[in-house]
Amino acid sequence: MRVTELAKAMNTTPDTVRYYTRIGLITPIKSPDNGYKTYDKKVQHRLKFILSARQLDFSVDEIKNILIESDKGHTACPLVREIVEHRLAETEKQFQATLLLREKLKNAIDDWQSKPNKAPTGHMICHLIEGDSRQGGNNE
């Protein structure tokens, strides 16, 4: 199967197939007669794995490491679990930080609703953000 055929079969683009070929995650068979690159069922299966892993937000480097383990005949499952556990921990931290920011923004809106608009001065651009001691602004 050629690049465009593989791309169509995998519901992706030829550029995606070429990219994974260029970085060595998939390897075509080069015809000695005409030099055309073709992809067999094994490559199609490998590309399916790569595309599925990318949908789960695995990085190219992570996928490469998983494929290296698999190519050695080792199970990649412990590595996959480790990556996902690490990613979940990172996501949880980001989520908590987002919740904290959400609260700060809600509090700011509540606080600022009663404050007047003020023109910038030589010492202040926006008193809502910078705080104005005469208005009881928040100087965090």
Rounded to an integer, what distance in angstroms lies between the CA atom of residue 15 and that of residue 37?
14
45, containing H or E segment? helix 41-55
Distance from C-alpha of 10 to C-alpha of 22, rounded to nearest angstrom:
18
- Among 7, 24, 95, smallest CA distance to 60 is for 24
Domains of the chain (ranges plus CATH)? 1-74 (1.10.1660.10), 82-129 (no CATH)
pTM of the model as a whole: 0.71
Query: What are the DSSP E strand ranges found in the chain?
Result: 29-30, 37-38
Write out pLDDT tens, residues 57-85.
Answer: 999 999 999 999 999 999 999 999 999 99
pLDDT digits (tens, 9 = 90+) for 12-23: 999 999 999 999
